[in-house]
Chain A
Amino acid sequence: MSFEPKLLGFLCNWCSYAGADLAGVSRIQYPPNMRIIRVMCSGRVDPKFIIQALELGLDGVFVMGCHPGDCHYLDGNYEAEKKFEMTKKFLSLAGLEDRIRLDWVSASEGKRYSEVVTKFVNDIKELGPSPLNGEEPDEELLENVRAIKAAVSSERMRALVGRERKITEEENVYGEKFPEEKFNELMDLAIKEEYERHRILLALEKYSKSVKDLAKELDIDPSLVLEHMLVLKSRSQVDFGEIIGNTPVFIRL
């Protein structure tokens, strides 16, 4: 039997969900691979929801909202886009970025709804089953996806993405605008750091480990691990456990 992906779609109540209903009223046929969760606005879609679905082994996640400028809630879809972009960047660190998609479907676009869903189903078919799917999911990848889920839920990432539009689209009190490229650099750095830090936190969940152990296990440069440990310690997320020989061993708090 050919591979039939199982997908999850988050549809905003006013545009894309209505568009999906219209496809129904018009009896437009499309493949039955996607399950739907209705939210009032695509801006409600928390990045952790997307990661949660992937962690469960679903083959793809589709977020749909109103077309830019047509949001029922003024600009919820622009916020959705920023959160989605951040999520995608995180997922690219685990090679899963092609399994999520964002698109705009209006209440009058029943046909388009069926088309974008069909396209997504076909693209995911081509990509094959999620490595997290089935009886024996890729354990290492699963750990990394869990790290991403924790990272997108971290205060730093949420604050950064939550402020993105204010920072890049509006001027400050001095009439200056923060350039988008510069913000993207900041964002990329934060993503890399928080990904690694949350991998470290997860690795410390069961056993305490030294910097050297962690560096080897996670394949991160030891000096970088040490830097991360200092930050995590200042955040009260880790602490020194014991010292074995000359090596301090860290525990998760």
Chain B
Amino acid sequence: MPENNEKGEEVRVGVFVCHCGSNIGGFIDCKKLTEYAGTLPNVTHSEDNLYTCSEVGLTSIKDAVEEHNLNRVVVASCTPRTHEPLFRECISEAGLNKYLFNFVNIRDQCTWVHMKDPERAYEKAVDLVRMGVAKAAKLEPLDMIKVDINPSALIIGGGVAGMSAALNLSRQGFKTFLVEKENKLGGRLNSLYKLFPYDIDASEFVDKLISNVQSAKNLEILTSSEVRNIDGFVGNFEAEIEVNGSIREIKVGAIIVAVGSSILDPKGLFNYDGQKRISQFELEPKLKNKEIKAKDVVMIQCAGSRNDKIPYCSSVCCMTALKNALIIKEQNPSTHIAILFRDLYTPGTDYEEYYRRAREKGIIFVKYNEDKLPNVEENQVKVYNEYIGTEMVIPYDLLVLSTPLVANSDNKDLAQLLKVPTEANNFFLEAHVKLRPSDFATDGIYIGGSAKWPVDISEAISQGYSAAARASTILSHKEIEVEGAISSLPEINKALCTGCEVCVKVCPYHAIIKNENDEIEIIEALCKGCGLCGATCTNQALVIKHFTDDQIISEILACGGQ
């Protein structure tokens, strides 16, 4: 259906007030609110629905658009974060450009949070609807931007997550480049002995995975390689890879970040010396070579984590300690083992099984407190046992520290190249923890494995597959549409632009350039629509589509009662 051309047409806003069952209607008078909405400027139709998002509600929007010749639609209901796509689709089915829709949040940010003051909740809803209508009247239709897709992918990191993603994508028929910094694929798996659950042999597992990767079609492996530069945007990235000292340029449509994590340097923790007091990571090869002869082993959990410096739980250390303690017991059943822990996380039946077995085998668990850290002496550990409320003295001839996985020190550099964010601990930050866990906010770039958060092998594989699946949603198309609500320098504003280039410098995505004609130009596919340039533009020439100055100021004026 062709979209209505709004140019020169009278603005006709339709307002739909949702009861959301009793979630809204149970607290404020939706009928009265609907009547009020009908009195606002530019509103030609208003109605209330029991559930505007239901089939019935959506049909009534479409019918009203036709019957009243509406060219703007406002829905006052829940939150745009969950329901905006639905209503946008609804009005585009009714023949309107999807950007002519505006959302007013009167549930999550009104009735749900002001249940005990329904009178003032109603007042707030009235203001919010007035503001929403004011903005709606100023909305303009926008075009989505079409981008061609190069059906190939770059995967950064040749650990288990990266290899899983690479296998998945190459088997789907996409040309895939797998870049690994080290001279061998496999990442940390190469240094481990056995893997939980089921004590699978790590080298057997990783060798098989590597040989699958090496024999895969469409898959090119670049070891001893590092990404030096990334340009371009979704569907059309250009990457410079340094391979053994020389630069190789490759063009891909999507990028997956699977760089994994690093191990915290245990120096300074619990008298670590790398000999008698080692990390779990250093224990693995010793287990492999069956060289552990210790009679008394003590493991300390959360060594260096869950404190002010490293506030998070590294998630793999409890299982690593249980697995390694059981292996020691197996190799030498008379060994005494004590695991000093703060909390023990063994989620799911497979992992809990390790804990049960560990108890059966006589491994001792001592709960300590962050305020009373175990005191490691030359041959014994003094620890305050939380459960029995006294200090225990435990002798050892091998002390093993369960140190956390930490973000790679060069994550920031890669993040800068890719223009993606990292979080407070320097791990990569996904677009949304629940709704978009494998995506970055930047289109065409995805994430999997410990680069995002410490994960175990099975989780790394799942996340590698997940990132690959997300990448294939783009790679499987010849062209895709990207967000139209972005920055622009309208023809009419070009004379305002002084060419100061502050916008060029402030844009986090390098989406603004000065072109060969010495004019400011926005590379639309790169722009994410944050609006920073609009708030910065020294002569207010840039316009942020869908969040224009005019639209925002009309909301402010409406809030102030005008």
**A residues neighboring B (CB under 8 Å):** 4, 6, 8, 13-14, 17-18, 20-21, 23-25, 27-32, 35-41, 43-49, 52-53, 56-58, 67, 69-76, 79, 83, 107-108, 114, 153, 155, 158-159, 161-163, 166
Which 4 residue pairs across A and B have the least CB separation, nearest first? A56-B560, A44-B531, A24-B108, A73-B530
Tell me whether A159 and B538 are in contact (CB under 8 A): yes
CA A57 – CA B538 in complex, angstroms? 27
Tell me whether B142 is interfacial, beta carbon within 8 Å.
no
Residue of B nearest to A83 (CB): B535
* 18 more CB-based (< 8 A) A-B contacts, given A21-B109, A32-B113, A108-B433: A14-B432, A18-B81, A21-B81, A25-B108, A29-B114, A36-B105, A37-B131, A41-B532, A44-B547, A46-B534, A49-B553, A69-B421, A69-B423, A70-B429, A74-B509, A79-B506, A79-B532, A158-B502
Chain B residues in 8 Å Cβ range of A38:
80, 105
Chain B residues in 8 Å Cβ range of A4:
120
Tell me whether B431 is interfacial, beta carbon within 8 Å.
yes
Tell me whether B19 is interfacial, beta carbon within 8 Å.
no
Question: What are 22 A-to-B residue pairs whose CB atoms are below 8 Å?
Answer: A6-B559, A32-B121, A32-B124, A35-B559, A36-B128, A37-B555, A39-B531, A41-B530, A43-B531, A44-B535, A46-B535, A46-B549, A46-B552, A52-B553, A53-B560, A70-B423, A70-B429, A73-B532, A79-B535, A83-B535, A162-B502, A162-B506
0 or 1 for each of B107-136: is its CB under 8 Å from A? (1 = yes): 111101111110011011001100100000
Residue of B nearest to A11 (CB): B109
**B residues neighboring A (CB under 8 Å):** 79-81, 105, 107-110, 112-117, 120-121, 123-124, 127-128, 131, 419-424, 429, 431-433, 441, 485, 498, 500, 502-503, 505-506, 508-509, 528-532, 534-540, 544, 547, 549, 552-553, 555-557, 559-562
CB distance from A183 to the nearest CB of B (A): 15
CA A245 – CA B116 in complex, angstroms? 69
Residue of B nearest to A170 (CB): B505
CB distance from A39 to the nearest CB of B (A): 6
Chain B residues in 8 Å Cβ range of A73:
421, 441, 508-509, 528, 530, 532
CA A44 – CA B540 in complex, angstroms? 13
Chain A residues in 8 Å Cβ range of B553:
49, 52
A24-B108, A37-B555 known; A43-B131 Cβ under 8 A = no
Interchain CB contact (< 8 A) of B538 among A67, A114, A158: A158
Chain A residues in 8 Å Cβ range of B559:
6, 8, 35, 37, 53, 56, 58
Chain A residues in 8 Å Cβ range of B120:
4, 32
CA A163 – CA B137 in complex, angstroms? 34
Tell me whether B112 and A155 are in contact (CB under 8 A): no
Chain A residues in 8 Å Cβ range of B555:
37
Tell me whether A49 and B530 are in contact (CB under 8 A): no
A35-B559, A53-B560, A159-B538 known; A20-B529 Cβ under 8 A = no
CB distance from A67 to the nearest CB of B (A): 7
Tell me whether B109 and A20 are in contact (CB under 8 A): yes
CA A43 – CA B547 in complex, angstroms? 12
Tell me whether A159 and B500 are in contact (CB under 8 A): yes
Tell me whether B123 and A20 are in contact (CB under 8 A): no
CB distance from A230 to the nearest CB of B (A): 22
Tell me whether A49 and B556 are in contact (CB under 8 A): yes
Tell me whether B128 and A21 are in contact (CB under 8 A): no
Chain B residues in 8 Å Cβ range of A158:
502, 536-540
Tell me whether A24 and B112 are in contact (CB under 8 A): yes
Tell me whether B424 and A163 are in contact (CB under 8 A): no
Residue of A nearest to B537 (CB): A158
A39-B552, A71-B421 known; A45-B121 Cβ under 8 A = no
CA A194 – CA B144 in complex, angstroms? 41
Interchain CB contact (< 8 A) of B124 among A35, A43, A166: A35
Tell me whether A44 and B532 are in contact (CB under 8 A): yes
Q: Which has the most chain A C-beta neighbours within 10 Å: B433, B505, B560, B562? A: B560
Interchain CB contact (< 8 A) of B112 among A14, A25, A31: A25
CA A29 – CA B506 in complex, angstroms? 38
CA A148 – CA B269 in complex, angstroms? 55
Tell me whether B424 and A69 are in contact (CB under 8 A): yes
Q: Which has the most chain B C-beta neighbours within 10 Å: A29, A46, A47, A58? A: A46
CA A31 – CA B506 in complex, angstroms? 37
Residue of B nearest to A166 (CB): B505
Chain B residues in 8 Å Cβ range of A75:
508
CA A17 – CA B503 in complex, angstroms? 26
Chain A residues in 8 Å Cβ range of B108:
20-21, 23-25
Chain A residues in 8 Å Cβ range of B432:
14, 107
CA A114 – CA B112 in complex, angstroms? 12
